């Protein structure tokens, strides 16, 4: 094994340790069983995988990979649930389908080569979007996502850890066995109709999609243009923001899939103001106009 591969293999293990540590601290109320990561094993995709836990005995496992399955020159991180039982993985994707669009892959989507990889390289827009992979011939089934983060190794690893933890928790909290309490939403019951608040609090949100939204907008409020890092400094305010649903959850079907375009990044103040408005898709634009008017 050449020095670069050894370094990346060691890097993968360190990242898996970080993901496992964070999940262990936040798994309360879910069926996640987190263990100390195993030693990396060869995946056949020009990379390695590390097992970090499972959803219980005989149920899908949680793994972190680093490989070239996407056909890109550099290896990319992959967070996934894995099982040799197709129904178990399909059930995870079905339970999570309201959180994100899910792409499907089969043997027909793989290239005919010694190294397992996709026929066509993964498009930039398809990174961080869950993929359901069913390979019935060899009974290998996956439900996970590839991370498209580039840049310095340390920064890339931190961003992937955030996304991986968000993904695993999103899926775990969507399962019937999950006893996780609904996260407290930043809405004020005194300023919102009770029926709307109940619908808003009763709907699961995707942590992974919210992260993608904030990264797309560079953590900049799309109403007032502020960034927390500019106000509070990088140590405290970096990568802090909130994700707002442009179309209120109370007006969307229960099983509707939330897309990245349905979200806008906002600061805490503007988010609160938006929830004091008309619960209309035009609220973000209207509030932006108001802010600019009073600034003048």
What is the pLDDT tens value at each position of the chain, 296 positions in all?
Answer: 798 899 999 999 999 999 999 999 998 889 999 999 999 999 999 999 999 999 999 999 999 999 999 999 899 999 999 999 999 999 998 877 666 667 899 999 999 888 999 999 888 888 888 999 999 988 999 999 999 876 667 778 888 999 999 999 999 988 887 654 444 434 444 444 444 444 443 444 678 888 888 889 999 999 999 999 998 898 888 888 999 988 776 666 655 667 788 899 999 999 999 988 888 888 999 999 999 988 87
- What is the C-alpha to C-alpha distance for residues 291 and 149, in angstroms, rounded to an integer? 33
pLDDT at 253: 64
pTM of the shown model: 0.76
pLDDT at 198: 43
**C-beta of residue 241 within 8 angstroms of C-beta of residue 271:** no
- What is the C-alpha to C-alpha distance for residues 166 and 153, in angstroms, rounded to an integer? 20
- What is the C-alpha to C-alpha distance for residues 12 and 39, in angstroms, rounded to an integer? 10
pLDDT at 7: 93
- What is the C-alpha to C-alpha distance for residues 212 and 206, in angstroms, rounded to an integer? 10
Sequence ranges of the domains in the chain: 3-174, 189-295
Q: Around Cβ 234, how many Cβ atoms within 10 Å? A: 10
Q: Around Cβ 56, how many Cβ atoms within 10 Å? A: 11
DSSP 8-state code for residue 177: T
pLDDT at 249: 66
Name which of 87, 77, 131, 92 is nearest 109 in CA terms: 131
How far the first Cα of the chain sits from its last, in Å, is 62
- What is the C-alpha to C-alpha distance for residues 151 and 157, in angstroms, rounded to an integer? 10
- What is the C-alpha to C-alpha distance for residues 3 and 11, in angstroms, rounded to an integer? 12
**C-beta of residue 220 within 8 angstroms of C-beta of residue 241:** yes
E-state strands within the chain: 33-34, 41-42, 48-54, 61-67, 76-83, 103-105, 131-135, 140-146, 242-245, 263-266
Distances (CA, A) of 143 to 64, 110, 168: 12, 16, 10
């Amino acid at each position: 094994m050449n020095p670069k591969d050894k370094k990346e293999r060691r890097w993968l293990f360190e990242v898996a340790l970080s993901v496992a540590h964070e999940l262990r601290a936040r798994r309360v109320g879910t069926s996640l069983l987190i263990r100390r990561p195993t030693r990396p094993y060869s995946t056949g995709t020009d990379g390695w995988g590390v097992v970090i836990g499972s959803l219980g005995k005989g149920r899908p496992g949680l793994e972190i990979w680093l490989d070239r399955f996407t056909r890109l020159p550099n290896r990319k991180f992959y967070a996934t649930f894995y099982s040799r039982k197709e129904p178990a993985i399909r059930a995870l994707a079905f339970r999570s389908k309201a959180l994100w669009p899910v792409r499907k892959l089969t043997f027909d989507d793989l290239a005919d080569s010694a190294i397992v990889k996709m026929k066509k390289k993964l498009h930039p827009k398809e990174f961080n979007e869950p993929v359901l992979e069913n390979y019935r011939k060899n009974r290998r089934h996956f439900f996970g996502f590839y991370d498209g983060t580039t840049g310095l190794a340390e920064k890339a690893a931190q961003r992937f850890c955030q996304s991986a933890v968000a993904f695993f928790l999103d899926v775990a909290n969507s399962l019937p066995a999950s006893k996780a309490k609904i996260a407290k939403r930043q809405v004020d019951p005194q300023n919102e109709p009770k029926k709307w608040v109940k619908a808003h609090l009763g709907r699961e949100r995707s942590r992974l999609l919210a992260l993608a939204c904030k990264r797309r907008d560079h953590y900049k409020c799309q109403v007032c243009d502020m960034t927390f890092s500019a106000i509070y400094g990088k140590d405290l305010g970096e990568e802090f923001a909130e994700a707002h649903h442009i179309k209120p959850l109370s007006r969307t079907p229960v099983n509707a899939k939330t897309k990245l375009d349905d979200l806008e990044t906002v600061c805490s103040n503007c988010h609160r103001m938006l929830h004091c408005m008309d619960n209309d898709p035009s609220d973000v634009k209207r509030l932006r106009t108001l802010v600019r008017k009073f600034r003048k």
